[in-house]
């Protein structure tokens, strides 16, 4: 029989090991007052090492617009951070520090997550010296949330406490693998935390490696996962897929005739069950310039070809 003390000791060991690769990020951003005067505003967030050569992952809202970025390591040493890439649509950023020989965290598989799994959020909440840790469970997956001026799709929902300052830190599983990047962009969340899936981070890094810079590929829709419960509640014609919750006026999706309530079940022949499936199919079709969608509308199945808009970020 496994003792509770042994489980507790095991978790503590995992947290100690991971915390060595979690950093605090301090920023200075210019702010304008009512008289249009400029004053420096200090901010704080978190991040974690993904490469021994000094590459750090954090949130875009942590470092976006910063005139000064400093990465603080667990031993208190500090390094100036340079922005490699920022993708506001994913709320992700990559930083580079001059220091080498760092220990990167192991990236897990967020697609394998299930509700009820134990997770830990590690970072520097409220600017407190860190890293500190909170524990919770995965409450849900595939959430679509409206943040501050951005819609974030396919988020992990957790009850692990996430406060300002935690943003950009890792959400890890019981094995010490990073499964998400915590974000505190949701101002109305009370006792509910959200994290960007680590597979989204992998995709972000893949696009930079392939195209040399982050790109945003989109067709102009926001979608949410269809579940058996939502299918019944909203009388949807299928129990799997993604339902269109918003179509941007004037976008390729709008011009192609997509409507709110349409359920997308396939994209370029690939099954679509979660928002990330649609996003990845669109990104994989950048060179084609179009994506072919299989759509269910009021019980009828349609094929819709939608042009892809690509923006350099």
pLDDT at 44: 92
> Could you tell me if 201 and 219 lie in one domain?
no
> Could you tell me if 232 and 303 lie in one domain?
yes
- Judged against a pLDDT cut of 80, whether residue 127 lies above it is answered with no
At 75, list the tokens: 């031993």
Nearest to 70 by CA among 38, 98, 32: 98
- Judged against a pLDDT cut of 90, whether residue 299 lies above it is answered with no
pLDDT at 143: 84
> Could you tell me if 282 and 219 lie in one domain?
yes
Calpha distance 164→95 (Å, rounded): 19
Mean pLDDT over 120-141 rounds to 87
- Judged against a pLDDT cut of 80, whether residue 38 lies above it is answered with no
At 16, list the tokens: 């100690």
In a domain, 127, yes or no: yes
> Could you tell me if 81 and 132 lie in one domain?
no
Q: What is the band of 70 on the pLDDT scale with cuts at 50, 70, 90? A: very high
Nearest to 268 by CA among 287, 249, 252: 287
> Could you tell me if 200 and 248 lie in one domain?
no
* CATH code for position 186: 2.40.10.10
Question: What is the rounded average pLDDT for all residues in the chain?
Answer: 89
Strand order from edge to edge, sheet including 22-32: 78-80, 68-72, 22-32, 38-51, 55-58, 92-96, 82-87
pLDDT at 186: 59
Q: Catalytic residue numbers?
A: 61, 91, 167
Q: How many domains is the chain built from?
A: 3
> Could you tell me if 37 and 66 lie in one domain?
yes
Q: What is the band of 37 on the pLDDT scale with cuts at 50, 70, 90? A: low
Helix or strand holding residue 23 (H, E): strand 22-32
In a domain, 10, yes or no: yes
Domain boundary residue, one of 66, 96, 126: 96
pLDDT at 25: 95
Contacts for 254 with CB less than 8 Å, ≥ 6 apart: 220, 247, 248
Mean pLDDT over 108-126 rounds to 92
* Count of CB atoms situated within 10 Å of the CB of 152: 20
Q: Tens digits of per-residue pLDDT, 168-223?
A: 999 999 999 999 999 865 555 566 889 999 999 999 999 998 888 888 899 999 88
Q: What is the band of 153 on the pLDDT scale with cuts at 50, 70, 90? A: confident
> Could you tell me if 262 and 196 lie in one domain?
no
> Could you tell me if 251 and 174 lie in one domain?
no
Q: What is the band of 229 on the pLDDT scale with cuts at 50, 70, 90? A: confident
3-class secondary structure, 259: coil
Q: Does a cis peptide bond (omega within 30 degrees of 0) precede residue 261?
A: no
Per cent of the chain over pLDDT 90 is 61
The residue segments making up the domain with residue 281 are 214-312
Q: First and final CA of the chain: distance in angstroms?
A: 54
Pairwise pLDDT comparison (226 vs 234), residue with the higher score: 226
> Would you give the DSSP letter of residue 119?
E
> Could you tell me if 230 and 277 lie in one domain?
yes
At 260, list the tokens: 């709110």
> Could you tell me if 92 and 141 lie in one domain?
no
Per cent of the chain over pLDDT 70 is 94
Mean pLDDT over 34-52 rounds to 84
In a domain, 227, yes or no: yes
Alpha helices in the chain (DSSP H): 4-19, 60-63, 198-211, 228-233, 252-256, 275-284
Q: Tens digits of per-residue pLDDT, 73-96?
A: 998 899 999 999 999 888 999 999
Q: What is the band of 275 on the pLDDT scale with cuts at 50, 70, 90? A: confident
pLDDT at 34: 64
3-class secondary structure, 72: strand
* CATH code for position 293: 2.30.42.10
> Could you tell me if 299 and 220 lie in one domain?
yes
In a domain, 105, yes or no: no
Contacts for 174 with CB less than 8 Å, ≥ 6 apart: 10, 11, 14, 117, 118, 119
Main-chain phi, psi angles of 241, to 5 degrees: 130, -165
In a domain, 305, yes or no: yes
pLDDT at 190: 62
Domain boundary residue, one of 185, 205, 225: 205
Domain boundary residue, one of 205, 232, 254: 205
């Amino acid at each position: 029989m496994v003792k509770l003390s042994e489980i507790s000791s095991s978790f503590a060991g995992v947290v100690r090991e991971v915390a060595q690769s979690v950093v605090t990020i301090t920023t200075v951003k210019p702010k304008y007052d009512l008289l249009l005067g400029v004053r420096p505003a200090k901010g704080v967030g978190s991040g974690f090492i993904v490469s021994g050569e000094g590459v750090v992952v954090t949130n875009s809202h942590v470092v976006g617009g910063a005139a000064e970025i400093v990465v603080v390591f667990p031993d208190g040493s500090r390094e100036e951070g340079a922005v490699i890439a920022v993708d506001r649509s994913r709320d992700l950023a990559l930083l580079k520090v001059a220091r080498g020989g760092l220990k990167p965290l192991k990236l897990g598989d967020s697609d394998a997550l299930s509700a009820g799994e134990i997770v830990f959020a590690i970072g520097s909440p409220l600017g407190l010296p860190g890293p500190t840790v909170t524990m919770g469970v995965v409450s849900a997956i595939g959430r679509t949330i409206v943040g501050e001026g951005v819609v974030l799709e396919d988020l992990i929902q957790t009850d692990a406490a996430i406060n300002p300052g935690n943003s950009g830190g890792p959400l890890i599983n019981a094995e010490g693998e990073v499964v998400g990047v915590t974000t505190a962009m949701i101002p109305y969340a009370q006792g509910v935390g959200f994290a960007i899936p680590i597979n989204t981070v992998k995709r972000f890094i893949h696009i930079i490696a392939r195209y040399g810079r982050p790109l945003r590929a989109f067709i102009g829709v926001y979608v949410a996962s269809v579940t058996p419960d939502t299918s019944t509640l909203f009388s949807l014609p299928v129990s799997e897929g993604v339902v269109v919750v918003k179509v941007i006026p004037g976008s390729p999706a709008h011009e192609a005739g997509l409507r709110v309530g349409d359920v997308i079940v396939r994209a370029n022949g690939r099954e679509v069950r979660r928002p990330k499936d649609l996003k990845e199919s669109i990104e994989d079709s950048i060179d084609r310039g179009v994506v072919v969608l299989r759509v269910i509308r009021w019980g009828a199945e349609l094929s819709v070809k939608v042009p892809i808009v690509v923006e350099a970020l």
